Amino acid sequence: MNSKLLSSRHGVVLVMLAAVFLLIHVWAYMSRPDISQPLYYAWPAIDIPVHMMFGAWLALFFLYTNVLRRTGLLFVFSVVMLVGLGWELLEYGFDIFYGLSQGFSPAHHGMADTYKDIVDNGVGATAAIYFFRFFI
């Protein structure tokens, strides 16, 4: 990991946001509040902040670490949305090709949930871009 990234205040925030996102995501998939289903199925609303945090983290990662070489903010937003769409396709593919045949609960909950997830990614990315533009 780049030591300059961790030595700056903004880099620490970026790493902390990634850690919180990862912890919530793993906790939501692994915990079993009623022993019959993971948290994502017992409390579906946890999906909203997870997608928002992912969109925000990914946008800040691209902007702060200059991965996309000083491209426009709209391009960064578009890349975040494209990654979110790719994630939704992975969920659908997992269900079709592996999950349902092995008895897993479906990761894909229909098109309305997919649209909501992509919008949540966009809301997180927009908040991060606004934060980056005006405060960093």
What's the whole-number average pLDDT of the chain? Answer: 76
Cβ(118)–Cβ(88) below 8 Å: yes
Phi then psi for residue 121, to 5 deg, are -60, -40
Mean pLDDT in residue range 103-117: 79
Q: How many CB atoms lie within 10 A of CB 50?
A: 20
Range of weakest confidence among 29-38, 102-111, 118-127:
29-38
How does residue 6 score in pLDDT terms, banded at 50, 70 and 90? low
pLDDT tens profile 31-83:
555 555 666 666 777 778 888 888 888 887 787 766 556 667 888 899 899 99
* Range(s) of the domain holding residue 41: 3-135
Torsion of the alpha carbons at 36, 38, 42 and 44, rounded to the nearest 10: -160
Please report, for residues 5, 54, 108, 119, the alpha-carbon distance to residue 112 in angstroms, rounded to integers and kept in the order given: 38, 19, 10, 11
Q: Specify the pTM.
A: 0.70
Query: How many folded domains does the chain comprise?
Result: 1
Q: What is the pLDDT of residue 7?
A: 64
Range of weakest confidence among 23-27, 64-68, 118-122: 64-68
Separation of alpha carbons 41 and 105, rounded Å: 9
Tally of CB atoms within 10 A around 17: 17
